[in-house]
Structure 1
Amino acid sequence: MVLKPIIKNSLLALALAGLVACETVQTTQGGAVGIDRKQQMLVSSAEMDAASSKEYAQVLAEAKSKGLLNRNAAQVQRVRNIASRLIPQTGVFRPDALKWNWEVNVLSSDETNAWCMPGGKIAVYTGLIEKLKISDDELAAVMGHEIAHALREHARERASQQVVANSAISIGAALLGLGDVGKQGGQYLYMGLMGLPNSRANETEADRIGVELAARGGYDPKAAVTLWQKMASLGGEEPMKFMSTHPSSSERIADLTVYAQRVEPLYQQTRRR
């Protein structure tokens, strides 16, 4: 397939327009852990918040219909108590987060999982609590990590990157006449060179902000280390680094050890109040 120069120029113009439309933002202040990376956003916060609120409502409705929503009152109260100490600390990183419509719920599931959607929609799975026999300090580390993803708007950032990547891949495949095979190859190349490395970097940012939120909330930041030691003990072979969305357990433990020490004075100050 041969494209005429005018068509090629139009496609290139579209690609450049997508890049220019990206907005450079600083979603959070650096905090004691010093997260100061600027981000390129193409998708708006309003779009992400609206989509997240709709998805969260659907998840809760499905869980409620199956009797899996907030089934254990003691667990729910425990999780919400921890959230009540972490959420006020978010203002250190972005003051507007204090005005978010935060929601905190517990879902009965064997998954060792938790998440926080854009806008402060939190869910903790009972499998995380029960399988790890998790302490309050460790649970604060998990929740702080998930809250950090929302503060940094990592979901919005990934969506923006994917929009730009998809445009560039489609245009490149068209220019080279590669069709769907070329698009698939472009996706693999993008994920290997940018997508997965960016995902791992986001996880590290969330780890570091998470330990600071926990420390400022009065939870021992060193618990993030014991948490990942427990997670590693669950077993299961980790994928090779270049194929993984997350850093390896050993890398996370090493990094969290350093940053837990960095925010230890904040924890000690909180304890003395």
Structure 2
Amino acid sequence: MKTIWFLKRGSAIAAVTGAALLAGCAAVQTTDSGTVGVDRKQYMSSLVSEQALVQEAQKQYASIVSQAKAQGALDVDAKQTARVKAIAQRLIAQVGVFRPDAAQWNWEVHVLNSDEVNAWCMPGGKIAVYSGMIKQLKPTDDELAAVIGHEMAHALREHSREQVSQQMATDVGLSVLSALTGSSATSDLGGKLTEVMFTLPNSRTHETEADRMGVELAARAGYDPRAAVTLWQKMGSLSAGNAPPEFLSTHPSAATRTADLTKIAEQVMPLYQSAKK
């Protein structure tokens, strides 16, 4: 009986591995490398199309915006909102350097009235900046451009789709295993998008890519790329001796990050100087 159990277990593992590989084997080039040289190969599951994820993001974003409006928490400060949207529009005008199709995305930008120090950009260009970030950090326009550019880079690079793909591939394997064992496994695209956007941390690789691309977007838009360094220094000071703000809880900061941002900022300074002429 023990020999039979091991054979069944081995077959199950092989099936799980094979299914996961089939679900996530396609190499995708989401963006051009830009001046900062982001050129890592990404692997996306055939089960998670860009279009499907963008449609789900649109629905979730519309729900968030509708709820904020009902609560009187949407774009409360007109001057603050105008500032955020103006910075975002200058950054959006530069996205073609990484992916020309993104210039045609249905970009949206809103400020949510919340004490959280946070910002994000969903697939397809749905941006939210929390008022708590502006009130607590008191960022310059250059620093705010660094925040928004960083989040836009996550969307341009389709990091959410990459994470969802990894989860869906795992679920395919679990589904095969559940069929063998009699347990159950389900997959929910909307739930997974919510999870990767608002719960799960980004990987160090994703963060580095977003940092670098965000700095280049800012420089091309005429914002000082060195502000990314002072921004993260301000972030770090908020968490000194306390629990880190929400933005930092999923965006790990370290000395290596500051060093990398300093290096990249110098690399794109000619772009900034050219944009300022």
Give the TM-score, by structure 2 length. Answer: 0.82
Aligned: 1:156 with 2:164: no
Distance of aligned partners of 1:238 and 1:63 in 2 relative to their CA distance in 1, 3 Å threshold: closer
Say which SS state the counterpart of residue 234 (structure 1) adopts: helix
Find the counterpart in structure 2 of residue 113 from structure 1: 118
Q: What is the 5 A alignment of 1:83-162?
A: 83-162=88-167
Deviation, structure 1 residue 75: 0.6
In the alignment, what sits opposite 1:192?
none
Deviation of 1:113 after TM superposition, in Å, equals: 0.6
Please say if 1:219 is aligned against 2:223: yes
Instruction: Quote the residue 1:185 is aligned against.
Output: none
Aligned counterpart in structure 2 of residue 34 of structure 1, from 22, 31, 37: 37
Cα deviations by residue, 1:90-114 (Å, 9 ceiling, x for unpaired): 0000000000000000000111111
Contact 2:143 2:231 in 1 (8 A): yes
Question: Counterpart amino acid of 2:36?
Answer: V
Distance in 1, Cα, partners of 2:142 & 2:251: 22
Aligned to 2:237: 233
Structure 2 residue 54 is the aligned partner of structure 1 residue 52 = no
One-letter identity of the residue aligned with 1:40: Y
Distance 1:3 1:50, change over 3 A: farther
Residues 7, 253 of structure 1: CA spacing in aligned structure 2 closer, same or farther, 3 A cutoff?
closer
Is contact 2:20-2:170 (8 Å) kept?
no
For the 8 Å contact 2:225–2:269, the answer to whether it is kept is yes
Aligned pair 1:252/2:252, yes or no?
no
Paired letter, 2:120? W
- Taking the aligned partners of 1:10 and 1:114, their CA distance within structure 2 comes to 42
Report which stretch shifted further, 245-254 or 59-68. 245-254
Contact 1:70/1:106 (<8 A) preserved: yes
Q: Deviations over 1:193-245 (max 9, x none)?
A: xx97x711101100000000000000000000000010001124679xxxx85
Aligned position for 2:21: 19
2:75 touches 2:111 (CA, 8 Å); kept in 1? yes
Question: What whole-Å deviation, never above 9, does each CA across 1:99-141 have from its counterpart, x for those lacking one?
Answer: 0000000000111111000000000101111101110000000
Query: In the alignment, what sits opposite 2:188?
Result: none
Q: Does the Cα contact within 8 Å between 1:12 and 1:171 map onto a contact in 2?
A: no
* RMSD value, Cα: 2.7
Structure 2 gaps, min length 5: 185-199
Change (3 A) 1:110 1:238: closer
Task: Using the TM superposition, give the Cα deviation of residue 164 of structure 1 relative to its aligned residue in structure 2, in angstroms.
Answer: 2.1
Displacement of 1:154: 0.2
For residues 5 and 89 of structure 1, the distance between their equivalents in structure 2, rounded to whole angstroms, comes to 56
Structure 1 residues 171 and 125, CA, compared in 2 at 3 Å: closer, same or farther?
A: same
Q: Which runs of 5+ in 1 are unaligned?
A: 181-194
1:154–1:266: structure 2 CA closer, same or farther, 3 Å change rule?
same
Q: Which amino acid aligns with 1:234?
A: L
Q: How many aligned residue pairs are there?
A: 251
Q: Would the aligned equivalents of 1:228 and 1:249 in 2 still touch at CA under 8 Å?
A: no
Shift of 1:86: 0.3
Letter in 1 for 2:37: G
Give the percent of matched residue pairs that are identical in Structure 1 and Structure 2. 57
* Shift, 1:88, TM fit: 1.2
Secondary structure (helix, strand or coil) at the match of 1:122 reads strand
- 1:175-190 counterparts in 2 under 5 A? none
TM alignment of 1:191-230, pairs within 5 A: 199-230=203-234
Residues in 1 aligned to 2:214 and 2:7: alpha-carbon distance in whole angstroms:
51
For residue 34 of structure 1, give the secondary structure of its aligned residue in structure 2. Answer: coil
